[in-house]
Amino acid sequence: MGKDLSADSFDHRDRARYRRKVQRCLDTLGRMLSDGGFSFPGRHVGLEVELNLVDAKMRPAMSNAMVLQALDSPSFTTELSQHNLELNVPPRPLAGTCLVELERDVCRYLSHAQETALDCDVRLAMIGILPTLALDDFDQKWITHSTRYTLLNDQILAARGEHTILSLDGAGLAERGPERLRAQTESILPEAACTSLQLHLQVTPEEFAAHWNAAQCLAGVQVALAANSPFLLGRALWHETRIPLFLQATDTRPEELKNQGVRPRVWFGERWITSIFDLFEENVRYFPGLLPETDAEDPVEALESGQAPKLTELRLHNSTVWRWNRPVYDVVDGVPHLRVENRVLPAGPTVVDMLANAAFFYGAQRALAETERPIWTQMSFHAAEENLYAGARNGFDAQLYWPQIGWTSPDELVLRVLLPLAREGLRDSQVAEEAIDRYLGLIEQRCLTRRNGSRWQREAVACAERRGADRESALARMLARYLELARGEQPVHTWPSE
């Protein structure tokens, strides 16, 4: 979301000024892309992990301000709800033992954060959706004390003109029938239930379109492999419930606009692209500003004076369109660059599971982006989008479409096609062979056992209920056991279900 915002409300003049400024930023970006004004020292990767805080009873702990103050680290920052934190890990080149070092660094950051949280009588929980959340936890009073979050909440609710409606149907546990959730909240805090792993890859302007298209093709199999969000408000729903929940929690459209086909702000997209400019231009054309604040920079003047323009308004606008694969323009030490930000994955269950997910994505993305006959020329964009929702709804039980194969399960698709491609892509990135074997070996075993975080959670809750526990108690017990097993840093496919 960028820098904090002023507490002043916005009027029509602010919106008109903001629209003009965003367009000027977009025009400047177009000039930079035409003139070759981007640095590319190499393929740098980075990641962000969103975290939950829980108390001794496994309930969300609204203590992020206290924990952040005790941490006193620029690597940790706030998120929307007071029970959330976010870890930002410094970027590094994708080569050699980078992924092993990244795993070690994330473990070190989280170990320190866990010790600090325990000193504050809370603990960290790294999971896609905290299963012990209750409807009261979505009360506006639990929004993190920050002007930007309050304004975002107010602007989304004002645009929609009505309360947040959550409406989800899911697969029941074991042999039971489907479960349904119907709930209403007066804030966008259900979005804070969606804690994710976000992967960044720096690319050249010329490579961006191929890497973004490849990421879109991979989204469905990614969520099926890594699903870790099966419960919300006491219901067993999608295997990766984050996907529909994020859409509903931040939707600015009342029913009438949905019926007209107005695009949602949580968006897969609608077409393959040929340039990063396509995505920024769509964001500007289709979505009104939610936080129309402007700064003093004239991006054209900055560019013509030899500086890297900040493009503040365009970046702020981009941060309020939640694409599952988001384009990123950034300036570091006065040098501009471009990144693909992959946002489909949940947090957890362990650091090694997340690094395996990252290795698979980076490797398969590169291999698909550099193939002679691009995969996206062989499948419709709609098929890629349907794969995302099928993988999120059904996990390993999904049927995904893939060119030259047709409909297949995620595990078969990965084992037969995508794992060899991921290995090839990591080798082309000069990643050390031992790192490739370590992380892709975990993906292989996850596919062979067909066990991810979602399946483990569902089995653990079903087992507790067979032994007589009600749903609330079963979820709390499951989460306590989940956190215990996660501390051992053994990959989730090895976890016992009882």
Q: What is the pLDDT of residues 155-167, one digit of tens each?
A: 999 999 999 999 9
How large is the average pLDDT for residues 426-444?
98
Amino acid at site 216? Q
Per-residue pLDDT band for 9 (boundaries 50, 70, 90) equals low
Cα–Cα distance measured from residue 136 to residue 141, given in angstroms and rounded to the nearest whole number: 10
| Higher-pLDDT residue of 241, 489 | 241
How large is the average pLDDT for residues 478-486?
98
How large is the average pLDDT for residues 478-496?
97
Residues 6+ apart with CB under 8 A from 116: 67, 70, 71
Per-residue pLDDT band for 13 (boundaries 50, 70, 90) equals confident
Q: Are 39 and 204 in contact (CB under 8 A)?
A: no
Percent of the chain with pLDDT over 90: 92
Is 5 a residue whose pLDDT tops 70? no
How large is the average pLDDT for residues 27-42?
88
Q: Around Cβ 124, how many Cβ atoms within 10 Å?
A: 23
Q: Cis omega before residue 244 (within 30°)?
A: no
Q: Are 384 and 391 in contact (CB under 8 A)?
A: no
Q: What is the per-residue pLDDT for 7?
A: 46
Summarize pLDDT for 201-220 with one digit per residue, the tens: 999 999 999 999 999 999 99
Q: What is the per-residue pLDDT for 6?
A: 52
Residues 6+ apart with CB under 8 A from 272: 209, 213, 216, 376, 381
Mean pLDDT of the chain: 95
Is 441 a residue whose pLDDT tops 60? yes
Would you give the distance in Å from CA 498 to the centre of its chain? Answer: 30
Cα–Cα distance measured from residue 117 to residue 183, given in angstroms and rounded to the nearest whole number: 31
Among 340, 107, 91, 102, smallest CA distance to 213 is for 340
Q: What is the per-residue pLDDT for 497?
A: 80
Summarize pLDDT for 120-143 with one digit per residue, the tens: 999 999 999 999 999 999 999 999
Q: What is the per-residue pLDDT for 1?
A: 42
Q: Are 409 and 418 in contact (CB under 8 A)?
A: no
Per-residue pLDDT band for 19 (boundaries 50, 70, 90) equals very high
Among 368, 370, 372, smallest CA distance to 360 is for 368
Summarize pLDDT for 38-66 with one digit per residue, the tens: 877 778 999 999 999 999 999 999 999 99
Q: What is the per-residue pLDDT for 10?
A: 74
- Flag whether the pTM goes above 0.75: yes
Strand partners for 196: 346
Is 171 a residue whose pLDDT tops 90? no
Q: What is the per-residue pLDDT for 175?
A: 74
Is 411 a residue whose pLDDT tops 90? yes
Per-residue pLDDT band for 2 (boundaries 50, 70, 90) equals very low
| Higher-pLDDT residue of 490, 1 | 490
How large is the average pLDDT for residues 247-264?
94
3-state SS string over the chain?
CCCCCCCCCCCHHHHHHHHHHHHHHHHHHHHHHHHCCCCCCCCEEEEEEEEEEECCCCCECCCHHHHHHHHCCCCEEECCECCEEEEEEEEEECCECHHHHHHHHHHHHHHHHHHHHHHCCCEEECCCCCCCCCHHHHCHHHECCCHHHHHHHHHHHHHHCCCEEEEEEECCCCCCCCEEEEEEECCCHHHHHCCEEEEEEEECHHHHHHHHHHHHHHHHHHHHHHCCECEECCEECCCECHHHHHHHHCCCCCHHHHHCCCCCCEECCCCCCCCHHHHHHHHHHHCCCCCCCCCCCCHHHHHHCCCCCCCHHHHHHHCCCEECEEEEEEEECCEEEEEEEEEEEECCCCHHHHHHHHHHHHHHHHHHHCCCCCHHHCCCHHHHHHHHHHHHHHHHHCCEEECCCEEECHHHHHHHHHHHHHHHHHHHCCECHHHHHHHHHHHHHHHHHCCCHHHHHHHHHHHHHHCCCCHHHHHHHHHHHHHHHHHCCCCHHHCCCC
Is 78 a residue whose pLDDT tops 80? yes
Among 216, 228, 447, smallest CA distance to 342 is for 216
